[in-house]
Structure 1
Amino acid sequence: MNRLLTGAALPGRLSRPTGLLAALVLFLAALPILTMVTMSFGTSDMLEFPPRHFGLHWYRAAWRTFVSPDATDTLSMSTALTTSLIVAIATMAISTAVAAPAAYALARYRFRGRAFVEQLVALPVVYPLVMLGLALLLVFNALPGELGMLRLIVAHVILTLPFAVKNCAASVASIGPEFEEAACLMGASPRRALFDIVVPLMRPGILAGMLFAFIVSFNEFTVTFFLYSIDTMTLPVWLYSRTVSSLDPTVFSFAVFTVAIDFALIWMLEKLVGDAGVAV
């Protein structure tokens, strides 16, 4: 009663200053996206903010670029999008296939060097991306053959593996060994207990790791910029290439399209997984 009379915050509720601060931080985080979306609806040939007039002019121009590429473009947007999707899907599959057993082993077993392995897995998160891209470029150039798209997939797997392992490990942490012990007592083999009991319970973390791996790979630019070729240009690099000589306003429309894909994937993640198994 005293808390109500004094106006103190109730448990589970934010105080007004905290709420205002949180709203300000969220607004600043969303401001670049809001600016980009606003610019995409402008009609002027010059970059101006805020636009004086609004319309779908640049969206129609982006659609024409997509269906009928300009002869001056060295690569079409559809080809870059296809490359991004192939690389992202392959990265998602490989990262998940490696992360699930790795997370299980790190959570269940105690072995020499376990802490070092955990730090090694998390290293790409804190490693400077520019230096990582340069190092991978030197390594791939030293190899005898041309890897093509495979060099992008290898680089993206390195970048996305920490997210996949972290989310899978969050699910394994909530699964006690007693589940497997009970299955073995009921006559199941250790392998069957693993695939029939543990893997289904790891589903939230596996799904979260898959989607995070896809999102990170699909939007990756820095490392990809060091490794791409004209035949393996991804969508972020293609968008950057249209801003080198002059900032083409159609890039805002393409960027909105990319953000819409990311938003749909995050919404899908929330619906499929919720808060279970998500550890960013």
Structure 2
Amino acid sequence: MNRILFGAALPGRLGRSTGLAATLVLFLAALPILTMVAMSFGTTDTLEFPPQHFGLHWYRAAWQTFVSPDATDTLSMGTALTTSLIVAVATMIISTAVAVPAAYALSRYRFRGRVLVEQLVALPVVYPLVMLGLALLLVFNTLPFELGMVRLIVAHVILTLPFTVKNCAASVASIGPEFEEAACLMGASPRRALLDVVLPLMRAGILAGMLFAFIVSFNEFTVTFFLYSIDTMTLPVWLYSRTVSSLDPTVFCFAVFTVAIDFALIWMLEKLVGDNGVAL
């Protein structure tokens, strides 16, 4: 009897323990963001946590910095934000344009070296970003011409390809070859079947890859730090520059703005795609 009662109680206890552990892990993961948000509403000129008083003092200062940059700043926040948006959008478009045919070929065809290609595509996820940034800097410095913002886009495409290819490949894997065969039997050419049948069915994976590429590029710092110039400084590097000599509390307000953009994009991803074709 005791064994029966113990066996029946164990799943409940295990479920509560698992739920408590998951809640604790999620809280610890969100704690830095919550701390940053709380400190952005402080009113004192010195950093303290938790803030003794709350207000919009630093948000007004951040807005003033955005609309009327300080003459001592080498680059305005608006210019850095514009650079980040241009690089992120270009990265998203190029990475998706490369990922769609690559994912289709890797999923549909069997060829020599296929496994090696898959490993090379996934390599930037595990490769040390500091070493990647240094290697790209050495390569770009050997070129006889200056690439400017293009070298940031090239670096970000390398970093985002694993996400776009993986999501597109997940969508292709769920589309059986019988869809294309049926279209060809109806008189469509292989190219027409690909454009009219496969691509629309890959919509979830393509959208997921595009949004992941934008988010990764918009927030990338480590590799960008090796490749930026004063004319091509992105928002994460600009935020870092505000903390080198002394920590400006307005950076917390700008960071909250960045996190809000990321949350909006993730919410958009969930609404547009859901769990279909999303592969992290």
2:8 aligns with 6
Q: 1:5 to 1:120 in 2, by over 3 A?
A: closer
Q: Percent identity?
A: 87
| Structure 2 Cα separation of the partners of residues 211 and 265 of structure 1 | 7
Q: Where do 5+ consecutive residues of structure 2 fail to align?
A: none
2:232 aligns with 232
Question: Which one-letter code corresponds to 1:88 in the other structure?
Answer: A
Give runs of aligned pairs for residues 60-209 of structure 1, distance below 5 A: 60-209=60-209
| Structure 2 Cα separation of the partners of residues 193 and 182 of structure 1 | 9
2:255 aligns with 255
**Any idea what the Cα deviations from partners look like across 1:11-30, whole Å, max 9, x if unmatched?**
xx980000000000000000
**Any idea what the Cα deviations from partners look like across 1:170-214, whole Å, max 9, x if unmatched?**
000000001000111111110010011000000000000000000
2:50 aligns with 50
Give the length in aligned residue pairs. Answer: 277
| Structure 2 Cα separation of the partners of residues 101 and 51 of structure 1 | 52
For the aligned residues, what is the CA RMSD? 1.5
Tell me how far 1:9 sits from its aligned partner. 3.9
Tell me how far 1:94 sits from its aligned partner. 0.1
Normalising by structure 2, report the TM-score: 0.97
**Any idea what the Cα deviations from partners look like across 1:198-238, whole Å, max 9, x if unmatched?**
00000000000000000000000000000000000000000
Question: Which one-letter code corresponds to 1:51 in the other structure?
Answer: P
| Structure 1 Cα separation of the partners of residues 124 and 158 of structure 2 | 7
1:31 aligns with 31
Q: Where do 5+ consecutive residues of structure 1 fail to align?
A: none
SS, match of residue 15 in structure 1: helix
Question: Which one-letter code corresponds to 1:73 in the other structure?
Answer: D
| Structure 1 Cα separation of the partners of residues 213 and 264 of structure 2 | 15
Tell me how far 1:6 sits from its aligned partner. 2.4
Tell me how far 1:8 sits from its aligned partner. 4.9
SS, match of residue 146 in structure 1: coil
Give the ranges of 4+ consecutive aligned residues of structure 1 lying more than 4 Å apart after TM superposition: 2-5
| Structure 2 Cα separation of the partners of residues 8 and 270 of structure 1 | 35
| Structure 1 Cα separation of the partners of residues 45 and 199 of structure 2 | 54
Q: 1:43 to 1:179 in 2, by over 3 A?
A: same
Question: Which one-letter code corresponds to 1:62 in the other structure?
Answer: A
